Amino acid sequence: MPISFGNPALLFGAAAAALPLIIHFLSRRRVRRRQFSDLRFLTEVRAHRSRSLGLRRWLLLLLRMLALLLIALAAAAPRWGGLAGGGGRAVLCIIDTSASMSTQQEGGTRLDAAVAACAGMIDALPSGASVQIVTAGDGAAPLFDDWLPAGAGAVDGLETVRQAYGVFDLAEALRVAARQVETAPQARVEVVVISDLQASRSADLAAAASRLAGAGSVRVLVRRVGDEGTGGGVRTVTLPGRVLLAGERITVAATAVTDRAGEVFALTLDGETVAEAVAAGPPGGSVPLEFAVTVPGPGLHRGSVRKTSDAFPADDERPFVLAVPDEIAVLVAHGPDRPGADPTGRGGWRVVAAALAPDGEGDLFRVRTLPADRLTTAAVDAAALTILVDPGTPGRQALAGLRSELETGGALFVLVGDPTQAADLANTWQPLLGLPPGAEFETSDTDRHAAVTASDHPVFAGLPADALRTLEDVGWRRWFQVAEGQGTTLLAMAAGDDPVLQAGTRFGGRWALLTAHLQPDASDLPGSSMILPLLRRLGTWLARPRLLAAVAEVRVGEPLTLEPLAPAATDPRLAATFADPAALMVAGPAEGSRRGAILSWRGDTPLLAGGPATAPGFATFLAGTDTVGLAACGLDPAESGLDRQDPAPWGAELAAAGLTYAGDLTSTLAADFLGAVGGRPLAPWIFGLAALLLALELWIGRGAAPENRPTGG
């Protein structure tokens, strides 16, 4: 390791070591010869002593010169492995500003401790060192426009470090650090990561580390800040996963970490507490919670699951949006009715329409029916759910419209039970839904029964056990046997694996397939008490009303993007507002935050973007004074955990990625940063050695002094 000097100019003081030699030569006396009596024996004794004293005087001279040289060397503040002035090293600090750094502890937050540690290190650096700071939370960015000399200016700049609420993305921080290392004024750079080391993952860490290693001569050190301790928070909130009906009773699920036994969690809607749940299990563990809630009236409702505040208040409340539409537009397209056929219509399409809208136009589902041969793309686009009942062979344009509906997040429900439509099922509908082609018509002289195979699916979740048993008691006599696909089988024949009802996603949209129609000759389902709840549950899971598109759930740091509730193309009242970009705003999620929103188009679909979410809470999209979208912004669950990494394995991971890991600064005091980063001071040892040499010089000098005692003759 190299030796560096904090005050290299004082090395010129080493010239003072020549003073004893100069004085020695200047003070030498000239020898004068005088005649004297014969003193041969005395001369021999004096010559012997003179040679001895000469050696001692040269030794004393050497010791004095060495002592002066060491004193000058010590005054220059030498350090072992230190930061050399001028062409030495620079220090780049990466300060973690992620959500977990807002955890409260004695004297402030973890971020306060990180900033104080960084300031102490900068104060301890010698003159000639350079400093740069990178903050890493929602993203990573340099704090200063350019490298600064170590000193008060760099310390004062730390006052601009602000708390963020995203995850600590180490890979992004290393990429930003690499760009700064490339412009560093010194050849060698110490990268010091100051973080609580909350567990997080960076998928491209190896690539980022390789870029940093290639940017210059770099060593990485780490300092972990933050007290250990228990805590708790709300990790996730899960809604039923389907369209909610005003007035129905639902269960909202959540997961949370408790910090004490029997902790009470509350669910609020629009600022009022509507349900509570008591956590079971020991403190520090993740527990499930369930809240029984009555769905409020139509609209966008702000909700949250919260707990009593603790040391990390950022995760004590997790927001969500409850979207309750006032209506769902449904299009039912069916094959042509046969003369004298069952009054339920071709394939039982009237059963479907009556189940979805039993009270007529005033019901949540606004149903429109038409023959399948009159199906148009415009009719499909106007509906939140398209249902096809024994539709026959669709036209090319209609089929393209149905595919486009799935690709744009729409919903499609296909019911085929007519044996004459086996080819349409195999060649058209199964490929459209992403299912393996092939269908074989099955008939049974006796009733067969289908079992519920996914009781936790949103279509069935929350239904009582006796309702599911009633559905399994339905007798089936005619259906198509098809293969299982990538979706979920909801009903299958109890005697085999034949799926009767499947549901899944395709191209971003949702679909369901019932391989039987709803006429009495096929099954007892049309007359069962379960026909209405089954079809309505399917409808609420499948339907994608525009209100749902105007809602977003994002993590802090992710972009805010949604479809506005009332686009200009369909709402003349807001046409002027949407035409004026200055009228489109997003308020929040940070308190008092308000900025412009950007309107773009994906085909005929408008999109609003408001930049990344910067804090937990709600982001409200506005068109003038009208709310056109609402986003719930929550912390990444990793930030609310208690899983903190130790510096040793963390450093080993960096070393494995190709960086030089130089050590752990966690146990060092702020004033000792220079010892770890800037080298160990050698001045005390050198001063001690100089004192030892001077003491040795005094001891030897006693024997070198001339004897003044008179001699007798």
349 within a domain of the structure (yes/no): yes
pLDDT in the model for residue 536:
93
Q: 457 and 563: one domain?
A: no
378 within a domain of the structure (yes/no): yes
Q: Return the CATH number at 154.
A: 3.40.50.410
pLDDT tens, 563-580?
898 765 555 666 666 777
Q: 556 and 494: one domain?
A: no
pLDDT tens, 492-507?
987 557 899 999 999 8
Backbone angles phi, psi at 378, to 5 degrees: -65, -40
List CB contacts of 555: < 8 A, sequence separation 6 or more.
166, 613, 633, 634, 635, 636
Q: 536 and 388: one domain?
A: yes
Q: Of 56-65, 120-129, 331-340, give the lowest mean pLDDT range.
A: 56-65
Is the peptide bond prior to 589 cis by the omega test (within 30 degrees of 0)? yes
* Total count of residues recorded for the chain: 713
Higher-pLDDT residue of 642, 492: 492
Q: 698 and 649: one domain?
A: no
Q: 424 and 310: one domain?
A: no
Q: 448 and 532: one domain?
A: yes
34 within a domain of the structure (yes/no): no
What is the rounded average pLDDT of the residues 380-407?
A: 91
539 within a domain of the structure (yes/no): yes
What is the rounded average pLDDT of the residues 34-50?
A: 55
Q: What is the mean pLDDT of the chain?
A: 84
123 within a domain of the structure (yes/no): yes
Q: 627 and 487: one domain?
A: no
Per-residue CA distances from 145 to 116, 131, 142, 175, 410 (Å): 21, 11, 7, 16, 48
Statement: residue 265 has pLDDT above 50: yes
529, 473 contact by CB (below 8 A): no
Statement: residue 704 has pLDDT above 80: no
pLDDT in the model for residue 677:
56
Q: What is the pTM of this model?
A: 0.77
Minimal CA–CA distance to 378: which of 326, 331, 431, 413? 331
Local confidence band at 87 (pLDDT 50, 70, 90 cut-offs)? very low
Q: 254 and 321: one domain?
A: yes
Domain ends where: 510, 544, 578? 544
713 within a domain of the structure (yes/no): no
pLDDT in the model for residue 485:
83
pLDDT in the model for residue 86:
42
493, 500 contact by CB (below 8 A): yes
Q: 507 and 625: one domain?
A: no
Statement: residue 22 has pLDDT above 70: no
DSSP alpha helix (H) spans, 225-373: 349-356
**Could you tell me what percent of the chain has a pLDDT over 90?**
49
Class of residue 645 by CB neighbours under 10 A (exposed 0-12, middle 13-18, buried 19+): middle
pLDDT tens, 349-359?
999 999 998 87
Q: Identify any residues that bridge with 332 across adjacent strands, giving them in sequence order.
A: 369, 387
pLDDT in the model for residue 708:
47
Q: 359 and 473: one domain?
A: yes
Statement: residue 337 has pLDDT above 90: no
323, 551 contact by CB (below 8 A): yes
Q: Return the CATH number at 456.
A: 3.40.50.880
What are the DSSP E strand ranges found in 239-285? 249-257, 264-269, 272-278
Q: 532 and 564: one domain?
A: no
6, 680 contact by CB (below 8 A): no
639 within a domain of the structure (yes/no): no
pLDDT tens, 116-172?
999 988 888 877 789 999 999 878 999 999 999 988 889 999 999 999 988 898 999
Statement: residue 271 has pLDDT above 90: yes
Q: Return the CATH number at 597.
A: 2.60.40
Number of domain units in the chain: 5
Q: Return the CATH number at 290.
A: 2.60.40.150
Give the integer Cα–Cα distance in Å for 660 and 420. Answer: 72
Class of residue 28 by CB neighbours under 10 A (exposed 0-12, middle 13-18, buried 19+): exposed
Give the integer Cα–Cα distance in Å for 547 and 641. Answer: 33
Local confidence band at 84 (pLDDT 50, 70, 90 cut-offs)? very low
201 within a domain of the structure (yes/no): yes
334, 346 contact by CB (below 8 A): yes
pLDDT tens, 664-674?
888 776 555 55
Statement: residue 94 has pLDDT above 50: yes
Q: 419 and 558: one domain?
A: no
Give the integer Cα–Cα distance in Å for 556 and 538. Answer: 32
Domain with 281 in it: 233-325
State the DSSP H helix or E strand holding residue 204, giving kind and residue range, or none if neither. none
Give the integer Cα–Cα distance in Å for 565 and 575. Answer: 13
Statement: residue 279 has pLDDT above 60: yes
List CB contacts of 112: < 8 A, sequence separation 6 or more.
none
Minimal CA–CA distance to 125: which of 683, 687, 670, 686? 670
Q: Which residue has the tokens 């062979």?
A: 393
pLDDT in the model for residue 201:
62
What are the DSSP E strand ranges found in 421-515? 439-452, 475-482, 488-493, 499-506, 509-514
